[in-house]
């Protein structure tokens, strides 16, 4: 009877076999049953060898039983229904991946599991921490992100925490994780139409694997489940009807009560709390840029005294970074305004044509600020643009310090409420990039803003604060 019930319900399996790998009694918050049912829904199609409807991306706080559910118990349960199911389970580090593998193996080798499912055992000749195979042909391989998958393929590709909080600050680590998720993992599917990818993590960066995969998929073929630690205006809960599951605005009123959340906010800081607990990898008001302080207007509120068009030419055609030309102005009360943003992934020829045509449209009275990047290539590119703008005022500069340092002066004015932005079709993308900076996926608009602001501020200083 127990075996039959557990085979039919992954949630019942979790409750029944909890004690085989976890010493503490279970705290069965509502999300455990919900996530178990979502996993079972995608698994049932694999069991029947039917094309998947969607992959899963789950964003959830740490210490919410996610690894127990996804990495430890799910493979053991799936074998009760499909003994030859093959798993590839990945985490940001091999040590963490092996921890989950050992616990999953302990469950399968427990007396209770053997009694309920006597036909499933582990082969003695292939029973290591990193890879074990059962007597029916099922397997569980553990890998660290960026590692090789030993030539094996899977029905289920489970990625549990592909990066840790420290790696979120490293552009190289983010690129490694995203590249592995995009180029390596998909090649490990047994059947491209049936095999399912399951990604579960706390959000850590706008361009972390969750953000990168959601951006690439545009929501097609992916079910996104987002469960922040508490309900806060402006914070995403997905699917939205899950808000009704919260108690007094709390995701888990027992383990994450108000006191626990307050302590976490103190320990993690505003950014860490927003990303790891609220699943929004930046505080609502912004990180370096307090974007809630922007004034949004349909027309310039006052006469514009001075303008400048600042160009960041970092873009590559069709992919990668953008080239940006940002028009900033100072009004008669000394406030700063964002008047226009031109942004695209142009090839070099098309980019130069757009830089020239923009200058022609705005006239000689609007100077152009141009960042000259280091190296011979950057110097040559800058010189070409200066030649292209013959007849117009061009100010070139070589950036010093990192992007964040160069943005401080402008961010201070934003935080003081001294910057207004025109409501245009480019406004949303501009604000979102600044909201996430310095952990934004792109920084081209920030760079262009810094160049424009620093030019205008220095010009004002030279004339004693007058224009």
The model's pLDDT over 358-373, given as tens digits with 9 standing for 90+, comes to: 999 999 999 999 988 7
CA R_g for the chain: 27
Mean pLDDT along residues 91-120: 92
Torsion angles phi and psi, residue 233, rounded to 5:
-55, 130
318-344 pLDDT, tens per residue? 557 899 999 999 999 999 999 999 999
The pLDDT of 128-135, averaged and rounded, is: 89
For 203, list phi and psi in degrees, rounded to 5: -70, 140
Residues 190-206, mean pLDDT to the nearest whole number = 94
Which residue spans within 53-195 are E strands per DSSP? Answer: 55-60, 86-91, 122-127, 131-134, 139-144, 156-160
Q: Tokens standing for 401?
A: 């310090």
Say what the pLDDT of residue 340 is: 98
Query: Hey, how many other C-beta atoms are within 10 angstroms of the C-beta on 352?
Result: 19
Checking if the pLDDT of 375 tops 60, the result is: no
155: tokens are: 């029905």
Highest mean pLDDT among 57-71, 260-274, 379-393, 437-451: 57-71
Integer Cα distance of 97 and 65 in angstroms: 15
Per the prediction, the chain carries an average pLDDT of: 90
pLDDT band at 316 (very low <50, low <70, confident <90, very high): low
- Asked if pLDDT for residue 411 goes beyond 60, the answer is yes
The pLDDT score that the predictor gives to residue 95 is 85
Give how far the C-alpha of residue 349 lies from the chain's centroid of Cα atoms, to the nearest Å. 33
Band the pLDDT of 453: cuts 50, 70, 90.
very high
Q: What pLDDT is recorded for position 129?
A: 77
Which is higher by pLDDT, 206 or 54?
54
Query: What DSSP letter does each residue of 267-278 carry, written as one string?
Result: HHHHHHIIIIIT
**DSSP symbol at 58:** E
Residue 81 token pair: 């229904």
Whole-angstrom distance, CA of residue 404 vs CA of residue 134:
52
pLDDT of 400 reads 78
Q: For 225-250, what is each residue's pLDDT tens digit? A: 999 999 998 788 999 999 999 999 99
The predicted pLDDT at position 351 comes to 93
**pLDDT for 125:** 85
Residues 355, 308: Cα–Cα separation, whole Å: 13
The yes-or-no verdict on residue 465 having pLDDT over 80 is no
- Lowest-pLDDT range, 152-161, 358-367, 377-386? 377-386
84-88, 142-146, 286-290: segment of lowest average pLDDT: 286-290
Domains of the chain: 2-227 (3.40.50.300), 291-462 (3.30.420.240)
Which regions of 27-179 does DSSP assign to beta strands (E)? 55-60, 86-91, 122-127, 131-134, 139-144, 156-160
In this structure, are residues 120 and 51 in contact, taking their beta carbons and an 8 Å threshold?
no
pLDDT, residue 283, reads 61
First-residue to last-residue Cα distance in the chain:
84
Q: What is the pLDDT of residue 259?
A: 96
- pLDDT for residue 287: 67
Instruction: Flag whether pLDDT at 463 surpasses 60.
Output: no
Secondary structure of residue 331 in the 3-state scheme: strand
């Amino acid at each position: 009877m127990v075996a039959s019930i557990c085979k039919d319900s992954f949630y019942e399996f979790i409750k029944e076999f909890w004690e085989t790998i976890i010493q503490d009694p279970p705290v069965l918050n509502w999300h455990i049953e919900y996530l178990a049912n979502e996993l079972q829904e995608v698994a049932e199609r694999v069991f029947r060898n039917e094309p998947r409807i969607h992959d899963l991306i789950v964003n959830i706080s740490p210490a919410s039983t996610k690894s127990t559910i996804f990495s430890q118990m799910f493979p053991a349960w799936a074998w009760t229904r499909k003994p030859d199911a093959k798993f590839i389970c990945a985490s940001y580090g091999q040590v963490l991946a092996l921890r989950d593998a050992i616990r999953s193996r302990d469950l399968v080798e427990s007396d209770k599991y053997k009694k309920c499912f006597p036909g499933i055992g582990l082969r003695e000749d292939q029973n290591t921490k990193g890879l074990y195979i059962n007597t029916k042909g099922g397997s569980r391989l553990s890998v660290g992100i960026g590692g090789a998958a030993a030539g094996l393929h899977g029905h289920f590709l489970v990625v549990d925490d592909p990066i840790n909080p420290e790696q979120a600050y490293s552009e190289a680590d983010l690129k490694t994780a995203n590249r592995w998720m995009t180029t390596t993992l998909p090649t490990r599917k047994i059947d491209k139409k049936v095999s399912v990818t399951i990604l579960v993590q706390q959000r850590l960066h706008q361009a972390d694997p969750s953000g990168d995969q959601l951006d690439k998929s545009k929501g097609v073929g992916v079910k996104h489940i987002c469960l922040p630690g508490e309900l806060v205006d402006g914070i995403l809960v997905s699917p939205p009807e899950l808000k009704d599951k919260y108690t007094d605005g709390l995701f888990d009123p027992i383990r994450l009560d108000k006191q626990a959340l307050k302590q976490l906010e103190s320990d993690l800081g505003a950014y860490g709390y927003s990303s790891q607990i609220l699943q929004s990898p930046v505080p609502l008001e912004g990180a370096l840029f307090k974007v809630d302080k922007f004034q949004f207007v349909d027309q310039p509120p006052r006469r514009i005294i001075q303008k400048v068009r600042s160009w960041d030419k970092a873009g590559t055609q069709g992919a990668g970074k953008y080239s940006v030309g940002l028009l900033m102005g100072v009004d008669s009360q000394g406030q700063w305004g964002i008047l226009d943003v031109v942004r695209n992934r142009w090839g070099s020829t098309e980019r130069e044509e757009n830089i020239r045509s923009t200058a022609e449209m705005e006239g000689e009275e609007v100077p152009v600020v141009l960042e000259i990047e280091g190296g011979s290539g950057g110097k040559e590119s800058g010189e070409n643009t200066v030649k292209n703008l013959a007849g117009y005022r061009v100010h070139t500069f070589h950036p010093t310090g990192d992007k964040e340092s160069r943005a401080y002066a402008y961010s201070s004015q934003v935080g003081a409420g001294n910057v207004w932005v025109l409501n245009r079709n480019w406004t949303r993308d501009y604000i979102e990039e600044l909201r996430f900076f310095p952990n934004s996926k792109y920084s081209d608009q920030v760079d262009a803003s810094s160049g424009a602001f620093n030019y205008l501020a220095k010009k004002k200083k030279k004339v004693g604060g007058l224009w």
